[in-house]
Amino acid sequence: MNKNDDIKVLIVDDDLFSLKLMAHMVRQQGDYRVDTCESARRSLERILSREQNPDLILMDLNMPEMDGLELIRRLGDFGYGGALALVSGQSKRILRASEELSRSYDINVLGHLEKPVCSTQLSLMLGRLEINEPKPPPKKHPFTMEDILSAVENREFINYYQPKVSLSDGEVKGVEALVRWRHPEHGIIFPDQFIHLVEHYGYINELTRLVLENALDDARLWRGAGDPFTVAINISMLSLASLGFMDSLYPLIYSKGMSPGDFVFEITESRVLDDRRQPLEILTRLKLKGFELAIDDFGTAYSNLSKLSDYPFGELKIDRSFIHGITDSRSKATFYHACLALAREYGMTVVAEGVETREDWAFLKSTGCDVAQGYFISRPIPADDIAAWLSGWKASV
């Protein structure tokens, strides 16, 4: 039996001639099980109803009623586990943006084919297709308000830490505290499954205080061992808006022998720049008190870059989506250089998130970026593992 016998390919294109031509070309590449559909909406209905379960979808972008972009979104929401390839006569910029949209939904994108499709390009595209056992979607637990309250009271929320290092000499500049839920039944749970619930149920201040308390205890131990680096903590705008809550943090910090300058508060760009007056007052007060401030996930909110000068941030963290693979993307490199120039103008430190390869690291170092953070350096690790990681890192630089 041919190895392609069980590979199901669905071609979606409103142009009947293109549809038939593509189907013919795919069949010429091997004994693929090819199906076609002239409507994105009908193809989606078939997939949602499990009538079709393609391993690969070859799809046009510019279609009536439901275009390819909406189909990508709907497939992502559904949790489509197969591969996707775009077939279109649109510009390369639109095709690249569409690929990035697909990846944002965790869809395996093989790339794009420009019309008219060349058989050699199609062959190379099909050669990238690897059929694996479908992965079940991560289980999401319907946590209640009582679950969240119990977790806070029992201190089930713990800190993991991801190091931030200087690109110029490899010196460890700090760590970012990343909260995890050590659930007694479900194990370690990541924040995307509970942070929105913590905010919704009104326990974000309690969680923030717990994260800070954990960070204070861990930072004291590291300082005692001769590693006085800063700790970055993600702060919700809901917590920042509570002046009483923020004021309660100062005596807690000083009681542990630490100072506000030992901490960096990271605030997500979109939450800051949505409204000017309240964030300006809150962030300026924090700066007056001595906290360092960072704008996190920069680039994801498509804000006016000039607004950045109005806020007292000392650190700009470029989102990982603009960093990983930067050597292969002119648009990523262009955005990165604009951020770098902007930060230099405002006297800010630049932190690149999502540094995952030696190529990422080398590019950032050669272009003068200040600090790197990402899997190339270290995954987020428990506090107890920091000392061993530090020893290994210092030996390697």
Domain range annotation of the chain: 8-131, 145-392
pLDDT for residue 239: 84
Q: Residue 345: is its pLDDT beyond 70?
A: yes
- Rounded to 5 degrees, φ, ψ at 164 are -125, 125
Residues 159-208 pLDDT 10s? 999 999 999 999 999 999 999 999 999 899 999 889 989 988 999 999 99
Residue 50, Cβ neighbours under 10 Å: how many?
7
pLDDT for residue 367: 97
62 contacts 90 by C-beta, under 8 angstroms: yes
Whole-Å CA distances, 186 to 140, 143, 152, 376: 10, 11, 16, 28
pLDDT > 90 fraction of the chain, expressed in percent and rounded: 48
Tell me how far apart the terminal alpha carbons of the chain are, to the nearest angstrom: 53
Residue 144, Cβ neighbours under 10 Å: how many?
11
pLDDT > 70 fraction of the chain, expressed in percent and rounded: 90
pTM attached to this predicted model: 0.67
CA distance 300 to 287: 24
For the record, the structure tokens of 243 come out as: 């002046």
Residue 160, Cβ neighbours under 10 Å: how many?
19
The tally of CA atoms less than 13 A away on the side-chain side of residue 299 is: 24
Identify the CATH assignment for 8-131 out of 3.30.360.10, 3.40.50.300, 1.20.1050.90, 3.40.50.2300. Answer: 3.40.50.2300
pLDDT for residue 140: 58
CA distance 68 to 78: 15
Enumerate residues 6+ apart whose C-beta is below 8 A from 356.
Answer: 324, 374, 375, 376
Enumerate residues 6+ apart whose C-beta is below 8 A from 76.
Answer: 102, 104, 105, 106, 107
Q: Residue 250: is its pLDDT beyond 80?
A: yes
Assign 348 a pLDDT band (cuts: 50, 70, 90). very high
Q: Mean of the pLDDT values across residues 368-391?
A: 95
Our separate counts of H helices and E strands in the chain read 15, 15
Assign 306 a pLDDT band (cuts: 50, 70, 90). low
Q: For all residues of the chain together, what is the average pLDDT?
A: 86
Q: What is the CATH number of domain 145-392?
A: 3.20.20.450
Q: Mean of the pLDDT values across residues 115-132?
A: 75
